[in-house]
Amino acid sequence: MVTMTPNVKRQSTTVSTAASRRSTRALTLVELLVVTVILVIGIFGIVRIFPLGLQSLNHARNMTAASRLAQAELERWKAASANVPDGILAEDPETALKVRTDFNPDDMRTANSANPAEMPEGQDSWYWSNVNRVRLVKGETTVIPAPTLLPYAEGDQKNYAYSIYNLKFAPVQFSESDKGQNLPQGFEWPDQHVLIYGDPLTRVNVTGLSSDDRDNTLASVNRNNYAIDYDSGKVYLYSTWWTRRYKIDYAYWENNKLGNSTEILIVPGQSDRGEIVELQLEHGNIDDYSDRLARKFQYVQPGNFDDRNPYQFTLLNGYAQLDFAPTIGFNPIGRNVVVRTSLGQRPLTAHIDYEVLDWHVLREERTIPAPANVAPNYSVRLTLPNVKIARVTTVDGIDTVNAPPGTRNVRKKYKGITPAMDGYSVVALDLTDNTLMVDNNGPGGLQVDYAAGIVRFPGSITKYTPFGGTLTNQDVRGHDVRIFYQAVDDWAVQTSKAWSNYQRRDVPGNSFENLQYNQFDARIQKKGGDWVATLTFPRSDAGKSIEVSLNWTDNDGATHTINGRQFQLPKFGQLGAGHPSIDVPFARSDEYTYPGDDEVWKNPYFTFVQGASIKVRAIWREKPQRWEMRTLETTLKRQ
C-alpha cells in the first residue's frame, strides 16, 4: 500500500497537468475568436460611421492615377509636336465623311440618351457614347520618315525598306473583313479606315469668269495647283500619264444650311499629258474658299512599291491575324522628295485621317529594364491595377450610367482588348522593330499580374511580325514598348484638340449653327470705349483654347498687329442655346472708323485663328451610375 501511493499521486498529477494544458489551449482559441469578432464588428462600425472618409481615400487614389495617365499623354504629345493633328473631332454617326458640331463635348451619356440622340442602326452604342463620341483624328502629320529595313522580312520583302510611322493612337477602327465592300465613289480600301493625303495644292478661283477668261486661267493649271468654280461645284485638275486620286474637303450650302463633305476625285491617266480634266463634285453652291484639295496616297500590298510613285503606303498589320493596324509603311523614295504646295516648297508630308476604336483601350509607354545580370523575366508596372481579363472579368451588359430605373443589368464576360482580339487582355507593341507581344497564356507570352497591374516580359519571348510571321526566343531588354490594356471601372483616356487653322465665315444673321468644324464668324462692334472683334465658333468647340492674330489700320493709316493672343472659349454649360464666342479688343473708338460691310474683311484682317492647346481627359466609374473625370490641358501646336 505504501509503495503504491507515490505512483497514484504521480498519475494524478500528470492527468491534472494535461487537462490544464488542454484548458489553456481552449481558452486561447476562444479568446482569439472573441477578439476577431470584436475586430470585425469594429471595422464594420467604422465603415458605417465613416463611409465618406473611405470613399474619399479611394477617390483621391483614383484622381492621382488619372492625373498620371493624363500627364503622361500630354508629355507624349510634347515629344511628338511635329505629328500633332489638325483636329480630333466627332464624326456624323450616319456617315464617316461628315463632321458633327452640334453637340456638347462634355456630354458623357450614351448615343441613345445624349443630345442629339443619334446612333447608326445595328451598331454597339459603346462606340458612340461618353468619351467615344469624339474619336475622329484628322490630319495627324508626318514628313516621310527615313527608310528602315526590317530584319525579319521574308522572301522578296527582304529587298524592300519601309519608311515606318506608328499612328499615335491605336487600336484603329479597322477591319480586313470589309475588303470588296461597296465604298463611296473614288474611295478604295482602306480609305474608309485610314485615309492618307499630302499637303494642300494651291487654289485657283474661276467662279463667275467668262468662257474665254476661264480657259485662259485654266491654262495656268499644273500638277501643283487646281481650279474650282464654287457656283457649279466643278474642279479642274492637271492630268499625267498615270491615274491619280485627290482628296477634297469642302463646305456647301443646301436649303440655307451649311454642310461639309469629303470626296475622292479620280484623274485618269492620259496619253496626252497636261490635259485639264473637269470633275463634278457631289454638291454645287460651294462655300467660298472652304475647299482644301490634296493628292491622296495609294495603298499597295507590302513589297509592291513603285520606284516612280512616292505617294504610296502599306499597312504593316498582319500580326498573325491580330487586327490592330497601328503601323504605316510609306514608300521610302518619298523621303527625298520635295513638293510645291500652297504652303511653299516642302518635304513630302503625309496627313492621316483615322478613327480611334475605343478610348477605353489605355496606352502607356515603357522601357523594358535591361539589368546586367540575366533574369528570367523583366517587369514593368502599369499606372492602373485591376486589368480586365479576357473571358474572366465580368462587365456590365448595359450602360448603367444611363439606364432607366428598373432596367435589368445582364452581366457578361469581357471578351478581349478589341472585338477582333477575343481572348487577349494585354498587347505590347515593340517600337524598336514594330512587332507585337500578347498575353496568350502560352510559352513566350506576356506574363501579367492582372490584379497588381504588372507586365512581365520573359527572357525568351514570342513576337508577331507585321507580315504574319512568328519570332521565338526573343530578347527585348532595353526596348521601348507601347502597352495596351483595359482596366476595371471602365477607365478611358481621351485626347481632343481644337482645329489647327480656322477659316473666317460670316454666316447670315445669327445662324451660327451653320458654322463648320473649321470655321469662325467675326462681327466688328463697339463695346464701351473699344472696338472689338466678336468671334463665334461651333458649339462643339466649347471650353477649348483659341489663339488669335490680326492686324488693323487706324484712321491715320498706321498698321497695328496683335500676335498670338490666347482666349478660352466658354464651357458648354455657360452657353444656353447659344454658341461659344470671345471678344478681341483691338482699337479705341477714336483710332478706328468702321469701314462698312464692303470692306469688313479687310480691316481688321485675321492672319491666324487657331486651336492653341491639346486637352486630355481621363474618366472612370467609382459608382455604376456616375462617371468621374480629370482633365488636363497644355498649349501645344504643330512644330
Which three-class secondary structure string do you get for 256-295?
CEEEEEEEEEEECCCCCCCCEEEEECCCCCECCCCCEEEE
What element of type H or E holds 339? Answer: strand 338-341
User: Measuring CA to CA, which residue among 434, 435, 460 is closest to residue 447?
Assistant: 460
Residue found under cell 508629355: 75
Find the range with the poorest average confidence among 270-279, 315-324, 459-468, 512-521.
Answer: 315-324
Write down the pLDDT at residue 19: 47
Task: Please give the average per-residue pLDDT across 439-459, as a whole number.
Answer: 91
User: Measuring CA to CA, which residue among 199, 188, 191, 294 is closest to residue 250?
Assistant: 294
User: Measuring CA to CA, which residue among 520, 521, 522, 582 is closest to residue 552?
Assistant: 522
pLDDT of 362 > 70? The answer is yes
- Contact status, residue 218 vs residue 207, Cβ threshold 8 Å: no
| pLDDT, tens digit (0-9, with 9 covering 90-100), for 581-600 | 999 999 988 888 877 655 55
Check residue 173 and report its DSSP letter: S
Write down the pLDDT at residue 20: 46
* Length of the chain (residues): 639
The residue type at 385: P
Please list the helix, strand and coil fractions of the chain in percent, rounded to the nearest 5, in that order. 20, 35, 45
Q: How far apart are CA 362 and CA 128, in angstroms?
A: 17
- Angle at alpha carbon of residue 620, lines to 619 and 625, rounded to 5°: 115
The total of other beta-carbon atoms located within 10 Å of residue 392's CB is: 10
Q: How far apart are CA 359 and CA 69, in angstroms?
A: 13
Grid cell digits, residue 151: 530584319
Residue found under cell 495647283: 225
Distance of CA 239 to the CA centre of its chain: 36
| pLDDT, tens digit (0-9, with 9 covering 90-100), for 252-268 | 999 989 989 999 999 99
| pLDDT, tens digit (0-9, with 9 covering 90-100), for 9-53 | 434 444 444 444 444 445 576 677 777 777 777 666 655 555 555
What element of type H or E holds 70? Answer: helix 51-78
Q: How far apart are CA 268 and CA 274, in angstroms?
A: 12
DSSP E strands, 9-135: 87-92, 95-100
- Pick the most confident of 180-189, 263-272, 408-417: 263-272
Pick one of 3.90.105, 2.60.40, 3.30.1120, 3.40.50 as the CATH number of 499-611: 2.60.40
- Parse the chain into domains and list their residue ranges: 136-165+182-355, 362-489, 499-611
At 397, is the pLDDT very low, low, confident or very high (cuts 50, 70, 90)? low
pLDDT of 124 > 80? The answer is no
Write down the pLDDT at residue 9: 41
The residue type at 140: E
Which comes out higher in pLDDT, residue 365 or 113? 365
